[in-house]
Amino acid sequence: MAKQRTEQDIIATAKKRFALAESAEEDIRREARIDLEFVAGEQWDSDDRNRRQYGNVRRPCLTFNKLTGPLNQVSNEARLNQLGIEVHPVNTRADEETADVIEGMIRHIEYASKADQVYETALEQAAACSFGYFEITTQFVSPTSFDQELRIEGIPDQFSVLLDPYATQPDKSDMNWAFKAEWITREDYEDQYPDSQMTSVGFFQNVLNPAPGWIGTDGVRVANYWVVEKTPRTLVAIEFPDGVVSGVYEDMIGAELPPGLKYHLTPDGKKVRRVTESREVKCYKINGIEILDETDWRGRWIPILPVLGKEMWINGRRRIFSLIRFARDAQRLYNFYRSQEAEIVMLGTKAPWIGAKGIFKDTRWETANVVPWAYIEYEPLDIAGNPASAPQRNTFEPPIQALSIGAAQASEDIKATTNVFDASLGAPGPESSGIAIQRRQNQSGVSNFHFIDNLKRAIRQCGVILCDLIPHIYDTAREVQILGDDRKQEIVMVNARFQDERGKYHEYDLSVGDYDVAVEAAPSYPTQRQEAYARLAEITQAYPQFLQIAGDLLFQNADFPNANKIAERFQKTLPPALQDNEDQPPVPPAVAQRIQSDAQTIEQLTAALKIEKEKADGKVLEQASKNRIDIMKIQSENWQAALKAQVDLLVADIKAGSTENVALLGERTAAIQHLIGLLSRSDEPVAPPAAMPGAGVVQ
């Protein structure tokens, strides 16, 4: 068991660790403050600024802050590609549905906490001064509730956090202690902690200060002191009824195992056990002489997440570098060149006048370089009475071109040290294709990706801490809000069996199973919608029939007003097989059986109707054939009578002895044969011929 420590032991240890962390990060924090001053525009050395602004002659001291562009480039890169926490089960006792619920809970915690702003602020702090922080806290659901919920909060003052300098993991998840401190004015302290020892003795007035650096004349430092307490414990392997073997602390097992459980034994019959450590996290609120509050944190990790810049170890000392660390000298040089240019341009119009002594008696000469006088008179004789020439300016050619070249080179040095060039900031280049331009613009994102990757590490550890805390904070049967990938909110019940609107039963037990997290970068949801709409529109343009298959998806991703209403209406026009009916309640079993029986009856009736229809169609065809035959008989009789009349007429002509119509007789015979052929092939009524060619004509 852990050794019981008194309050004074805890305070003494905390003060030693605070001093150790301050000493370990002294250089880091000094350079970080200089970085922030540069970002804020304080880029001149104090001595140089005083000599230029407050000397006998005031000289230009200009600042052209070229560091905000690279900083915005890195932070906006994270805004375009948001990082999302994904939850996955890691053993058989966990399940995918519960993992989805936990992931939805984390997504809602991020949404309610405005975590995107928290992450972006921490990243901007890391890029500007090499480190930033955010934390996980708890709060009550409402003033009248005992239920708590988790929140992700930012830490505006990154210098208020001090971490265990012996933590070696990139995300500092192995830290054993940490501080988050703030200075509170004396009046506020007395209002918040009226029962404090410091308040009762009047801030140790006229008495030796017992905690220098913690207690001041006008305020006091109050710190949340996080500490991980590790206790050696024996772990015993227990076999569950489903065959899963899991470790349980031996001191938590009673005299006998619960029914259904048994010890997992070695081949020689001994219990499988090993010595391990249990982690407990405590938070003490201290002021340097006493503990103001004590909290047993319900998770296994200290809930402070660092976002760091480039981290290196040099001669046993840890160093962290910001984005602008090595651009500071180039920025100073750029400001100097531009200030010199301005100073030379100003002096070029104020060249001194040179002339013999005694010729400048007119007082207007004293302001000749300031006031544009119409004329100024000078004395034609000097002090010796000798003739004097007119005054002349002592002009010169200022080296502005050389200064401009130097300023341009300093500007290039800023780009080289920050790895952010003109193409990344939108400057045009020689590339013509869209892909080439995009790759050129993304070069700075690759060279500075370690800032976003360090943010990704912090967010992943944040997900690990949330997965560890959720079963302890949400430990009762309660309704929770979850958020889907499409930002659609839903309310589900956890830690209890429930039935949804469709009659399906669910049970999301957050205390069962182990889950792990992963972090994936993806474009923001509005960007994904825009890209999806563009792709679907392209497919629809190339294949118009696609609109009849996925038109509702096209309008769901559109951004114009009433697009969702159009999508809902369009979905109703889709074929039943393509319509999503997940929101409709399921059909009861009795109704489903009746529907199936009716469907079989309809199928049988349809088959019978088909047979009767085929019979009716046959009778119709038979009657039509009879009608056609009768018509053909009538036609045949009419043709026969007409042909007989024509033939009789021809015979009469022949008997009359006409020899001139022999050729015409051949034509008539051919015509009769042609008509007989038509009659034999035609199914439609054909009118009999009125007369054959030349019929009834005797030459």
DSSP 548-575: HHHHHHHHHT--STTHHHHHHHHHHTS-
Contact between 63 and 43 under an 8 Å Cβ cutoff? The reply is yes
Which pLDDT tens digit goes with each residue over 464-489?
Answer: 999 999 999 999 999 999 998 777 88
Tens of pLDDT, residues 274-318: 999 889 999 999 999 999 999 999 999 999 999 999 999 998 899
pLDDT at 633 over 50: yes
Six-digit token pair at 217? Answer: 């004349």
- 520 Cβ neighbours under 8 A, 6+ residues apart: 83, 84, 86
Q: What angle do CA 642, 643, 645 make, to 5 degrees?
A: 65
Return d(Cα 82, Cα 107) in angstroms, integer.
Answer: 12
Asked if 476 contacts 463 with a C-beta cutoff of 8 angstroms, the reply is no
Amino acid code (one letter) for 508: Y
Identify the three-state secondary structure at position 661. Answer: coil
Confidence of residue 631 (pLDDT cuts 50, 70, 90): low
For 134-150, the pLDDT digits (tens) are: 999 999 988 888 889 99
Write down the residue that tokens 């700075």 correspond to: 444
Per mean pLDDT, which of 26-30, 187-191, 206-210, 597-601 is the most reliable? 26-30
pLDDT cut 70: percent of the chain above it = 75
Q: Tell me the longest C-alpha to C-alpha distance in the chain.
A: 169
Mean pLDDT score, 171-184: 95
d(C-alpha 517, C-alpha 173), whole Å: 15
What is the model's pLDDT at position 602?
66
> What distance in Å separates the CA atoms of residue 238 and residue 263, rounded to the nearest whole number?
5
pLDDT category, 581, cuts 50, 70, 90? low
Question: Is the pLDDT reported for residue 404 higher than 80?
Answer: yes
- The average pLDDT across 258-269 equals 88
Within its chain, how far is the Cα of 633 from the centroid?
87
CB 137 within 8 A of CB 151: yes
pLDDT at 179 (0 to 100): 98
For the ranges 168-177, 452-461, 534-543, the lowest mean pLDDT is seen at 534-543
Whether 327 contacts 418, CB under 8 Å: yes
What's the pLDDT at 695?
A: 44
- Decide if 235 contacts 273 (C-beta within 8 A): yes
The pTM (predicted TM-score) of the whole model is 0.70
User: Contacts by 563-567 with C-beta closer than 8 Å and gap 24+?
Assistant: none
Tell me the C-alpha distance between 592 and 586, whole Å: 9
Give the tokens for residue 123.
Answer: 């990243």
Q: What are phi and psi of 299, to 5 degrees?
A: -110, 180
Percentage of residues in the chain having pLDDT higher than 90: 37
pLDDT confidence bin for 596, thresholds 50/70/90: low
Which range among 206-220, 274-288, 392-406, 646-660 has the greatest average pLDDT? 274-288
- Which residues are 317's β-sheet partners? 314
697 pLDDT band (50/70/90 cuts)? very low
Residue 36 or residue 581, greater confidence:
36
What is the arithmetic mean of pLDDT over 76-93?
A: 85
Looking at the DSSP bridge assignments, the partners of residue 226 are 178, 283
Q: What is the mean pLDDT of residues 205-228?
A: 86
Scanning the structure block, which residue is given the tokens 């949801």? 525
Beta strands in 257-322 (DSSP E): 262-263, 273-286, 291-297, 304-308, 310-314, 317-321
Q: How sure is the predictor about 693, in pLDDT bands with cuts at 50, 70 and 90?
A: very low
pLDDT at 553 exceeding the cut of 70:
yes
HSE-up of residue 530 (Cα within 13 Å, Cβ side): 5
Q: Both tokens of residue 569?
A: 């209406």
- pLDDT (tens digit per residue) in 636-677: 666 566 656 665 665 565 555 544 555 555 666 666 666 555
Arithmetic mean of pLDDT over the chain: 81
Whole-number pLDDT of residue 309: 94
The yes-or-no verdict on residue 172 having pLDDT over 90 is yes
Euclidean distance between CA atoms 621 and 342, whole angstroms: 107
Q: Which two tokens stand for residue 595?
A: 């529907």
Is the pLDDT assigned to residue 56 strictly greater than 90? no
Question: Cα separations (Å) of 551 from 425, 543, 544, 554, 556?
Answer: 38, 12, 10, 5, 9
pLDDT tens, position by position, 331-386: 999 999 999 888 887 766 667 788 888 888 888 888 777 677 888 888 888 888 88
φ, ψ at 237 (rounded to 5°): -80, 125
Q: What is the pLDDT of residue 1?
A: 44
Q: Show the DSSP H helices in 55-172 as ranges.
A: 68-80, 96-113, 115-129
What value, to the nearest 5°, has the Cα angle with vertex 39 and ends 36 and 44? 90
The strand ranges marked E within 538-645 are none
State the average pLDDT over residues 232-242. Answer: 88
What is the predicted pLDDT for the residue at 699?
A: 37
User: Helices (H), strands (E): how many in the chain?
Assistant: 18, 20
Answer with the residue of higher pLDDT: 454 or 218.
454
Q: What is the pLDDT of residues 682-692, one digit of tens each?
A: 554 555 555 54
Nearest to residue 108, comparing CAs of 46, 59, 151? 151
CA dihedral defined by 245, 251, 255, 256, rounded to 10 degrees?
Answer: -10
Domain residue ranges of the chain, discontinuous segments joined by +:
214-301, 525-578, 589-681
Contacts of 172 (CB under 8 A, 6+ apart): 163, 164, 306
Which of the residue ranges 323-337, 601-615, 685-699 has the most confident prediction, judged by mean pLDDT? 323-337
Place of tokens 């993992």: 99
